[in-house]
Amino acid sequence: QPLFSSLFSSFTAGKFFPPPSDLLPYQGGEPLPAQTNWNIPAISEDEAKEAFIQYATRKCCYSKAPAREMVFQDLLALNAFRYHLETFTESRSSSWKTKPYRGEPIDSAMYGGAPSPWELRVEVPEIFKDNIARVKVPHTSSVKGCPICRSIGRCPCNQCHCLTRKQCWVCNGTGIQVGSQRCSTCAGVGTTVCNACSGMGTTTCSECEGTGQLLTYIELQIQWKNNIFEHVVDERSGFPTELFKAVKGENLLLDEQYMVFPVINFPNSAINQISRRAIEQHRAQFGSSARILRQKQTIELLFLTKVEYEWHEKSYSYYVYGNEHKVYAKNYPKKCCTIV
């Protein structure tokens, strides 16, 4: 395929193609200032108690007595924030494809040169969702004889090896059944017509599906991927932050544009640092190898309250977290049974 190599070098140079410089992310703009009036609300004792009762109710072996009879000692509202960055990218790669040729028009190189990988216009699907599209590249098609069947369309039968007949499976080739009777399946011959090729000795070629010819072309694969960075900032509360994955918080910031810029002046300085680090990381990781189409960053306030209480003159604690008021209690005072 020397002709293809010269005409389509932009495709065959490598599997993945970085976008041209005019499609690289825009680097201008200013950092996004954060608001400064974001207060941290605390849940009430009634809400904390109701959440604890519901928690005990859902546990078949937990007594509800501690939840109903507890005496509050302290409710500590803890600052927890979740920073989330999404970078929606498009990358392109190509590969040679073949399929049986059935006489359709051939879009060959004689109709023009193949476009470069990023010149092909493809409609972008729903943003921030992974997707893949495959497109036949114009002017890259050609027809060649099938190398598997040597352009005949049929291949030797791999069951009978072109003999058209196989050993009888009933009498194992002896021609005789039990009791020295002639085999009724093969009529005493010992062989039967091969059912794989219907006695022809050859089968339809699976590569060209009997046409004897293959249509060869370059396929461009466009992959849209939503790349996610997420980090939770808490104040060493002792709460297992992985539990936050199952709950929602209150949106404090939603910034969506072609390219977002780091948050500044957020009340929690760690968020400012994480925002800058995440954006720089995504630009370095995807900025040259893929086309960045859209970015979105959010900051959520994750409700987290540590409840300290007393029951039967002993002190305990639990956490209420998320909009859903879920409960995490490492040590529950009274269980009705023990599960082994």
Output the six-digit token pair for 137: 């590249």
CB-CB contact of 152 with 212 (8 Å): yes
pLDDT of residue 95 exceeding 80? yes
CB-CB contact of 85 with 297 (8 Å): yes
pLDDT of residue 109 exceeding 80? yes
Closest CA to 30 of 274, 318, 263: 263
Bridge partners of residue 72, in order along the sequence:
309
Which residue carries 């997707």 as its tokens?
131
* Nearest-angstrom CA–CA distance, 70 and 116: 71
- Which element (helix H / strand E) includes 328? strand 326-328
Q: Count CB atoms within 10 A of the CB of residue 289.
A: 12
Which residues does 156 contact at the CB level (< 8 Å), separation at least 6? 162, 201, 202, 203
Q: What is the pLDDT of residue 13?
A: 40
* Nearest-angstrom CA–CA distance, 220 and 214: 19
pLDDT in tens, 171-216: 999 999 887 889 999 999 999 999 999 999 999 999 999 999 999 9
Q: What is the pLDDT of residue 61?
A: 84
* Nearest-angstrom CA–CA distance, 166 and 190: 9
Pairing mode, strands 32-33 and 263-264 = parallel
pLDDT-derived band at 60 (thresholds 50, 70, 90) equals: confident
pLDDT of residue 3 exceeding 90? no
* Nearest-angstrom CA–CA distance, 133 and 208: 25
Looking at residues 319-324, what average pLDDT do you find? Answer: 94
pLDDT-derived band at 270 (thresholds 50, 70, 90) equals: very high
Q: Pick the residue with more confidence: 321 or 12?
A: 321
Q: Where are the beta strands (DSSP E) in 186-290?
A: 191-193, 202-204, 213-234, 250-257, 263-264
pLDDT-derived band at 22 (thresholds 50, 70, 90) equals: low
Q: What is the pLDDT of residue 79?
A: 78
Which residues does 217 contact at the CB level (< 8 Å), separation at least 6? 96, 97, 98, 107, 136, 137, 140, 141, 142
- Which element (helix H / strand E) includes 326? strand 326-328
Which residues does 39 contact at the CB level (< 8 Å), separation at least 6? none
Terminal-to-terminal C-alpha distance of the chain: 69
- Identity of residue 183: C
Q: What is the pLDDT of residue 1?
A: 43
Report the percent of the chain where pLDDT is more than 70.
88
Q: What is the pLDDT of residue 291?
A: 92
pLDDT in tens, 23-52: 655 444 455 554 545 556 678 999 999 999
Closest CA to 79 of 230, 234, 267, 270: 234
Q: State the average pLDDT for the chain.
A: 87
* Nearest-angstrom CA–CA distance, 298 and 296: 7
* Nearest-angstrom CA–CA distance, 333 and 319: 15
Report CA Rg, the chain.
Answer: 35
Looking at residues 316-338, what average pLDDT do you find? Answer: 88
pLDDT in tens, 62-91: 888 999 999 999 999 887 899 999 999 999
* Cα-Cα-Cα-Cα dihedral sign, residues 48, 53, 54, 55: positive
Output the six-digit token pair for 283: 């630009």
Looking at residues 100-106, what average pLDDT do you find? Answer: 95
pLDDT of residue 300 exceeding 60? yes
* Nearest-angstrom CA–CA distance, 115 and 8: 8
Q: What is the pLDDT of residue 26?
A: 47
Q: What is the pLDDT of residue 19?
A: 78
pLDDT in tens, 213-251: 999 999 999 999 999 999 999 877 789 999 999 999 999
What backbone torsions phi and psi does residue 85 show, to the nearest 5 degrees? -125, 130
pTM equals: 0.77
Report the percent of the chain where pLDDT is more than 90.
70
pLDDT of residue 252 exceeding 50? yes
Q: What is the pLDDT of residue 111?
A: 87
